[in-house]
Amino acid sequence: MTPETARVRLDQFLLARIPGQSRSQIQNWIRAGCLLVNGKKAKTGYLTRPNDRICISIPDPPADLPRPEEIPLDILYEDSELAVVNKPAGLVCHIGAGVRSATLVNALLYHLGPVDTGDPVRPGIVHRLDKLTSGVMVVAKNISSHRALSLQFKNRRVHKEYLALVFGHPASDQGTIDLPIGRDPHNRIKISARARRRRSAVTHFTLEESCGPFSLLRIRIETGRTHQIRVHLAHRGHPVVGDVLYGGKIDANLPPGMQTVLKGLHRPFLHSYRLEFGHPVSGETMAFIAQLPGELLEFLETVRGIRRA
């Protein structure tokens, strides 16, 4: 360590000196104790000092890294820096607990070829959609584009719009839900406003159409917290139709016809409709739309037909 490299965050210092690694990966190594400063564990935000002795022991990569799999994928756009895909419901974004294959990453590796963004477990992934949420996503094809796109998401410069069909009718045609959320203390699967450690979350909604006992909403989110839209709408008393986890199950008060139709919906009616961001190299504003998938469009048309009958 020299005086010229002092007073730099540890993760940033290492990022400039370990090629091919993302900042998030380096931060994970620091938290895991793989990097020692003067023989002791340090925090990612530690400011380096002259004469610091930094030792690093990079762990071996996991044996079950994702491999290419021939999974159908709707690619809306692709260039040398990124790809935009229309993720179907039911597809997990990357491998994790209990999931070792058949993910979006496996599909990306097959359709795009090798993708190196510094994280061998989640190559290309800049943001995520829930397993049962469909719609438009952007993925990076190299480290520099991954960093640039991730920074846009972090700084809330990405415009994200969703379509959601919810139970009931909001009191106003448009509104904002500003409610910090976090992991539910009583159910680790769920997210809630009762969490001990909460993070800011902001959701804007506009009524698109009233559909009998349901409302079709256009959603814009400033933040991208886990389950944010589903939790916020359920908190307002308007859970997403088909979202069993947050109260969007069959309502006994619905007309019999509506109950029958609802039994055929096996996913939340939540779809990432539009995504707008700046190209990581040119800076050009890019916007992409993924229309409602067939199962949601068919459900919506059936509901409209029942309402008119």
CA distance linking residue 5 with residue 234, whole number of Å: 50
pLDDT surpassing 70 at residue 307? no
Q: Which of 11, 119, 130, 243 is catalytic?
A: 130
Domains identified in the chain and CATH numbers: 3-56 (3.10.290.10), 74-154 (3.30.2350.10), 159-308 (3.30.2350.10)
In the chain the first and final C-alpha atoms are separated, in Å, by: 76
| pLDDT single digits (tens) 98-154 | 788 899 999 999 999 989 898 888 999 999 999 999 999 999 999 999 999 999 999
| pLDDT single digits (tens) 207-228 | 999 998 999 999 999 999 999 9
| pLDDT single digits (tens) 4-48 | 556 788 888 888 777 656 677 788 788 878 888 898 888 888 888
User: What is the pLDDT averaged over residues 71-99?
Assistant: 94
Per-residue pLDDT, 20: 59
Is 130 one of the catalytic residues?
yes
- pTM of the shown model: 0.79
Is-contact 48 1, C-beta < 8 A? Answer: yes
CA distance linking residue 157 with residue 296, whole number of Å: 29
Query: Which among 32, 29, 4, 3 has a CA at the least distance from the CA of 14?
Result: 29
